[in-house]
Amino acid sequence: MNDRELVNAVAKGDQKAFRLLVDTHKKSVFNTVLVFLQNIENAEAVTQDVFVKVYETIGSFKNEAKLSTWIYRISVNQSLDFIRKTKRKKRFGIVTSLFGSENEALYHPANFEHPGVVMENKEKAAILFRAINNLPDKQKTAFLLQKIEHCSQQQIAGIMDINIGAVESLLSRAKTNLKKLLIDYYSS
């Protein structure tokens, strides 16, 4: 079954077709989401959200891009939405803990978790990902898609729905900003 047939079958409510779509893309979706969230449990939850969104919006897929590119775009957007919601909860938790009677923090940031990072490198990876997480969303997205997901600039342009020149600019600014953010770590 090609992408067009698969999309049409899923849009008509074919559960077997949807299962095939999930089975085909679940590993890449999970890995993409994990790169953004750096927490396995959160990545699993957001991966499910991605496929719910795919199922709900499959009728709007226009075959202008590859199905995998469209699913990547949804994965990135769901990941960024989760991060924004988490940041809002963190700010609310800090405010609440400042004024709460127990004075206990309601939010604790997750530890860095990624199965591809060996134990000796976890501290370095955590420092790098903290710096990456401080990049503006578009720079972060372009950088992660290129360096972690190994997407070409053409693929990144499709996923982010921008032109290649914009991708090049985002990658250049991301690298410059990462150098600034990591200069203290590497100069000591």
- Give per-residue pLDDT as tens, 38-48: 899 999 999 99
Distance CA 49, CA 39 (A): 15
**Residues 104, 97 contacting (CB under 8 angstroms):** yes
pLDDT for 106 beyond 60: no
Whether 1-86 shares its CATH topology with 116-188 is answered no
Residue 3 makes CB contacts below 8 A (sequence gap 6+) with 63, 66, 67
Among 154, 125, 130, 155, which residue's Cα sits nearest to residue 140?
130
Delimit the domains of the chain by residue range. 1-86, 116-188
Query: The domain 116-188 is classified under which CATH number: 2.160.20.10, 2.60.120.640, 1.10.10.10, 3.20.20.70?
Result: 1.10.10.10
Query: In the block, which residue shows the tokens 């559960």?
Result: 15
Give the pLDDT of residue 96: 41
Give the pLDDT of residue 118: 53
The pTM of the full predicted model, rounded to 2 decimals, is 0.73
Domain 1-86, CATH class in plain words: mainly alpha
DSSP of 63-127, one letter per residue? SSS-HHHHHHHHHHHHHHHHHHHHHHHHHHHHHHHHHSSS---S--PPPP--TTS-GGGHHHHHH
Confidence of residue 93 (pLDDT cuts 50, 70, 90): very low
pLDDT for 94 beyond 60: no
